[in-house]
Structure 1
Amino acid sequence: MELVKVGVIGIGNMGSSHVQLLDKGQIEGAMLTAICSSNESRIEWVKSHTKGNVQIFGDEETFFNESGIDAVLIATPHYSHPELAKKAFAKGIHVLIEKPAGVYTKNVLEMNEAAKVNGKVFGIMYNQRANPLYQKLHDLIHSGELGEMKRTNWIVTDIYRSQSYYDSSKWRATWKGEGGGVLLNQALHHLDIWQWTTGYMPNRIRATSSVGKYHDIEVEDDITAYVEYDNGATGVFITSTGEAPGTNRFEIIGDRGKIVVENEELTFYQLTQSEREFNKAYKGGFGQPEWKKIDIPVKSENANHPMIIQNWIDSIRKGSPLLAPGEEGVKALDIANAMYLSSWLNETVELPVDPNYYFEKLQEKISTSTFEKKNVTNTLLNVKGTH
């Protein structure tokens, strides 16, 4: 395929950015040919910010049936991602979805099955997988240099959000509109990087979350989770949108040392021998294994959305491997669902979460909600890197 005809559905914060990237020709081998939005103000924005040869559709059925696109970038609110992706696959259209893959794993698993059956190129906007910092971390761990993982610890509180952010639209920070708070919107990238770099999914989670601790919202803006892995390793994940100045520190401890990612720097505290081997052989009481500190030169780049789109287009045109396959979106979502469920039930939850049970519990949250937003501004935000 010489040139991929791309459509964008959803022209909000992220969709607008994608429209501009494609319209300006910044994605090699791709051409923006259609958009879909039911919002008249966003349609007017497209008309005034594109070259004028973009088809505009107001409803998704006509968009998928008549646009003639080869591929679609889905940037609509969270709940709609799986259904729109399934419609696209049914029409033989390649798909790139914004994160999260969905709100609950039940329909995300159905989406993954539809992708498998139709055989189209399916990606997800996990742009942090294109960050050289995390790519290097991934390669270090998977090379075996760190040895078997013993513990992980990630504090992610540098994602502060003000009340005005949550007031920017009616659907934000509600169970019905967004399906969650900091876990689904800001920290999902970190949940993905957590499992992708280490190669480990937790098998048990115990979490506590605080609903509206720092903001007038009905979903969580602060969460602490303890996890266990099937090899006996443990981990802690802490995130919040209510702390300033925030921290972003990721530690991974293995039997051959420790890796720390902080302040966009990567440091490897490498043992000269396995801690397990030293433990068995050493007879001197208070000694410990020798280690050396290695500062690994790597530049962090956070705004990698164009790289994920380019990678997706290249996969369509050339068959190159995807950095962020859409099917893998269910992994971080399963972790998030488990954290929510553990907090709601006040008990430890095993993974994978029962998709039907989680769906039922989420519907209870929605149906019993009495929360009303007081000050909705309907403001389009200038978003950098996360939602």
Structure 2
Amino acid sequence: MDKVRIGIIGLGNMGTGHAKYLVNNEVKGAELTAICEFRPDRLEWAKENFGGDIKLFDDLDAFLTSGLIDGVLIATPHYDHPSIAIKAFAAGLHVLCEKPAGVYTKQVREMNEAAKASGKVFSMMYNQRTNPLYKKLKDLVSSGELGEIRRTNWIITNWYRSQSYYDSGGWRATWAGEGGGVLINQDPHQLDLWQWTIDMMPKRVRAFCYFGKHRNIEVEDDVTAFVEYENGATGLFVTTTGEAPGTNRFELSGDRGKIVIEDGKLTFWRLRVSEREFNETYKGGFGQPEVWKCEIPVEGKETSHSGITQNFVDAILHGTPLVAPGEEGIKGLMLSNAMLLSTWTDNWVDLPIDEDLFYEHLQARIKESKSSKEANSYQTLDVSGTSKS
């Protein structure tokens, strides 16, 4: 094989963006050969803009078994990601899935098992892993420059959304339509980077989610979560869609200093000797380790979505290691599920979470969701298996 034939499932905003860079030959070794979409208007748009070289489908099974594709890029609403991926693996296809991996970890675990059994390449569209800032941070942590992690803080509140945004679709910000709010829709990249950059998941979570605090919606729009790690470190994650202006600040404290990523810069306050060594040897009472403020050079550019797709194609053609292995999608989702479950049970939640308990709570909220009926016309699969949104 010298070229990977890719089929896109879902031609909404994200699917359309993926289609454009593929058609423009921005991914070496890839060719967009087919699109599967339920909505006639989007299929007509594809026909008008991409011509007859790309085969269009409104039936998922026919698409998957067409023989026209080697791999799929799933860009449907996230409730559908696992079920479609499982079908694609069963059809012998490689899978690149948009984030989040799904809505609840129980279904994502089934997707991961199907991927493993298939032996096919499976990747997540965690395009922020191509951001040089976070790549450099991961390098500094893994190389030991920061020492043992003591604390992680991420304030990510620059997700401002007005009421008119939520009113633009009856399925938006509902349990039946989207399965959550700011955690599932705006924060998947940060939740992934939070654990990926330090290669460490919390052992337990205590969170306080506020539902419809700033807007007339039924899901969470304001969250503060406290986590504990196995090594004794602690962490804080704060997010909302109701603040303006917002903040995006990721701060890590370690035995050898502090690193902050904010405003597109990475700054390292590096201790000349570790805090542990200073504390053991210093006898002067008041005092602290000598610290150097270092503006760390960050090289390279963020390749974003096309970069992840290129990596996916290279993995198929050349065995290149994946930047965002698909099975890692469950980690960020585990964090958001844990935050919700902690709030719903008003208690600490140990990781890995009780997946059946989370599913039970989620289903209860879906049943009471004000958009249950409307959501079915937007978010669920029709008989052909293609998403309607």
Q: Which sits farther off after the overlay, 72-81 or 171-180? A: 171-180
CA distance in 2, matches of 1:25, 1:170: 37
- Unaligned 5+ segments in structure 1 are 379-387
CA distance in 2, matches of 1:160, 1:119: 41
Match of 1:221 in 2: 221
- What per-residue deviation string (whole Å, max 9, x for no partner) do you get for residues 86-110 of structure 1? 1000111000000000000111011
- The yes-or-no answer on 1:61 pairing with 2:61 is yes
Query: How big is the shift at 1:16?
Result: 0.6
CA gap of 1:303–1:372, structure 2 versus 1, over 3 A, is: farther
Alignment of 1:207-218 (within 5 A): 207-218=207-218
- The yes-or-no answer on 1:46 pairing with 2:46 is yes
Match of 1:109 in 2: 109
Match of 2:360 in 1: 360
CA distance in 2, matches of 1:29, 1:168: 38
- Are the counterparts in 1 of residues 177 and 371 from structure 2 also a CA contact under 8 Å? no
CA RMSD in angstroms, aligned pairs only: 1.6
- What per-residue deviation string (whole Å, max 9, x for no partner) do you get for residues 61-117 of structure 1? 111122521000000001110010010001110000000000001110111011111
CA gap of 1:149–1:360, structure 2 versus 1, over 3 A, is: same
- Are the counterparts in 1 of residues 176 and 372 from structure 2 also a CA contact under 8 Å? no
- Are the counterparts in 2 of residues 218 and 371 from structure 1 also a CA contact under 8 Å? no
- 2:133 maps to a residue whose letter is L
Query: How big is the shift at 1:328?
Result: 0.1
- What per-residue deviation string (whole Å, max 9, x for no partner) do you get for residues 352-386 of structure 1? 11111111111011112235899xxx9xxxxxxxx
- Are the counterparts in 2 of residues 121 and 312 from structure 1 also a CA contact under 8 Å? yes
- 2:330 maps to a residue whose letter is V
CA distance in 2, matches of 1:12, 1:299: 33
Match of 2:179 in 1: 179
- Unaligned 5+ segments in structure 2 are 379-389
Match of 2:383 in 1: none
- Are the counterparts in 1 of residues 171 and 371 from structure 2 also a CA contact under 8 Å? no
Match of 1:122 in 2: 122
Q: Which secondary structure does the structure 1 equivalent of 2:152 belong to?
A: strand
Match of 1:202 in 2: 202
CA gap of 1:327–1:372, structure 2 versus 1, over 3 A, is: closer
CA distance in 2, matches of 1:48, 1:270: 56
Match of 1:92 in 2: 92
- Are the counterparts in 1 of residues 174 and 369 from structure 2 also a CA contact under 8 Å? no
The share of aligned pairs that are identical, in percent, is 59
Q: How many residues align?
A: 375
- Are the counterparts in 2 of residues 126 and 308 from structure 1 also a CA contact under 8 Å? yes
- The yes-or-no answer on 1:155 pairing with 2:149 is no
CA distance in 2, matches of 1:39, 1:370: 24
CA gap of 1:208–1:300, structure 2 versus 1, over 3 A, is: farther
Match of 1:294 in 2: 294
CA distance in 1, matches of 2:299, 2:221: 30
CA distance in 1, matches of 2:155, 2:193: 13
Query: How big is the shift at 1:304?
Result: 0.6
CA distance in 2, matches of 1:346, 1:368: 20
CA distance in 2, matches of 1:361, 1:55: 41
CA distance in 1, matches of 2:149, 2:245: 30
CA distance in 2, matches of 1:343, 1:300: 40
